[in-house]
Amino acid sequence: MREMERRISDLRSRFSNDFIQWGNTVLGATALKMIAERIRKTGQAPGGGSYKPYSTNPMFVGRKSFLSDTKSNILLGSKKKRKELQWFTVQTKQGGRRVALLDGGYRKLRELQGMQVGHKDFLYTGKMWGDIKVLRTDAKGDGFTTTIGAISAIADEKLEHNQEREGKEILMVTDSEEQRLAQILDEWITNRVNEMLNG
């Protein structure tokens, strides 16, 4: 009887440790991939509906507004093109900076560079999405909670700003994604228990 109790205790300990490690490295990464792919492909928010469309309000732009000098040449690459724009001087910490007024706003800035504008994907330089990772997994009762978030202050600020502006969460799974994750979890538990019992 004591041997059986010892074995059950050992299995629980091994299972709990494996559970947290697997949740962090596999289930959390799978959830993040689901979220990123859904938003990038469809722009759908986790609670249903879409995020706000890209702004068409006029905005100031300069060469640094574009992803590269080559991209900026589309709008600013010749005297003729620059002459067609309205120019202003704005004050920065480095002094006065010449900027052009771009009609069509951020949506137009994306269009000029060949980026999709059909839905909001929160993707421009890619730095925000690149710095969103699985941060940790914590045991809670019979389950665990995996936290996904930004690993850099800049990405965290962008994420918070985007969520405040949208009034919707970004790093949350949908009901269907949650069901799929639960299925993946059930499959892992079944396989892991079988391995431990037969190992």
DSSP string across 176-197:
HHHHHHHHHHHHHHHHHHHHHH
Question: Can you give the residue range of the structural domain that contains 103?
Answer: 59-112
Confidence of residue 142 (pLDDT cuts 50, 70, 90): low
- Average pLDDT of the segment spanning 137-147: 73
Together in a domain, 169 and 129: yes
Q: Determine the pLDDT at residue 136.
A: 85
Within a domain: residue 6?
Answer: no
Secondary structure string (H, E, C) spanning 69-137: HHHHHHHHCCHHHHHCCEEEEEEECCEEEEEEEECCHHHHHHHHCCCCCCCCCCCCCCHHHHCEEEEEE
Identify whether 106 is part of a domain. Answer: yes
127 and 45 belong to one structural domain = yes
> Which pLDDT score, from 0 to 100, does residue 13 have?
61
Q: Which two tokens stand for residue 21?
A: 């490690």
Task: State both tokens at 10.
Answer: 């050992």
Query: Where does the pLDDT of residue 26 fall: very low under 50, low under 70, confident under 90, or very high at 90 and above?
Result: confident
pTM of the model: 0.83
Residues 92 and 150 in one domain: no
Residue at 88 is within a domain: yes
Same domain, 160 and 179: yes
One domain, residues 93 and 147:
no
Sheet holding 59-61, edge to edge: 59-61, 95-102, 86-92
Q: What is the pLDDT of residue 3?
A: 45
The yes-or-no verdict on residue 135 having pLDDT over 50 is yes
48 and 134 part of one domain: yes
Q: Contact at 8 Å (CB) between 1 and 159?
A: no
Instruction: Work out the average pLDDT over 112-118.
Output: 97
- How is residue 47 annotated by DSSP? T
Taking residues 14-23, what's their average pLDDT? 66
A 10 A CB-CB count for 124 gives 15
